[in-house]
Amino acid sequence: MKIIKAGIKHINELTELFDLYRQFYKKTSDKDSAKIFLKERIKRNESAIFLCLDEDGNAIGFTQLYPYFTSVGMKRAWILNDMYVRKESRKLGAGEKLMESVRKFAVKTGSGFVMLETHKTNKKASKLYEKMGFKPDRERRYYYLEIK
């Protein structure tokens, strides 16, 4: 199993995983739109995407980070926005390898921190994140404004 930084040449494998990820969150499959969305992120250098490949070179998982900046800390940071491992490939260590690649990338890019969010009901992901050193924020409230 190995982790690579994804580029345009990986768009088909990435699209497949991204579509499965969105379906996990109850979205309708839409590979065409997913491919366009991912191509734009890669071409515009708007995200960092890592793929996890199995021993045969098949893509079994991915993670996508978006840049963020902290004005108070005057540093770059990353939002770990997406992470997915194929159902049949879970419990093989792919999630840990992806998370470790995120940590190394954050260090390499001089980031102050990586933040993420997950649904309260996603206990398996929360367990992994905490195992990898992430801590739940107990001091801040997060708000969002939905734009329609």
Q: Is residue 138 part of a domain?
A: no
How wide is the angle at C-alpha 54 spanned by C-alphas 51 and 55, nearest 5°? Answer: 135
Domain count of the fold of the chain: 1
pLDDT for residue 2 is more than 90 = yes
- Is 137 contained in some domain? no
Two structure tokens written together for 48 = 């960092």
Average confidence (pLDDT) over 104-114: 95
Q: Side chain identity at 19, as an amino acid letter? A: D
CA-to-CA distance for 7 and 13, rounded, in angstroms? Answer: 11
Q: Would you say residue 127 lies in a domain?
A: yes
0.85 surpassed by pTM: yes
**What per-residue string of b and e applies to 78-113 under the rule 16 or more CB within 10 Å gives b?**
bbbebbbbbeebeebebbebbbebbeebbeeeebee
Query: Residue 146 domain-assigned?
Result: no
Residue range of the domain that includes 62: 2-131
Residue 122 domain-assigned (yes or no): yes
Spatial CB neighbours of 38, under 8 Å, sequence gap ≥ 6: 11, 14, 15, 18, 49
CATH number for 75: 3.40.630.30
Inside any domain, residue 148: no
Domain annotation covers residue 92: yes
- Does 84 have pLDDT greater than 90? yes
Q: What is the mean pLDDT of residues 54-58?
A: 94
> Is 142 within the bounds of a domain?
no
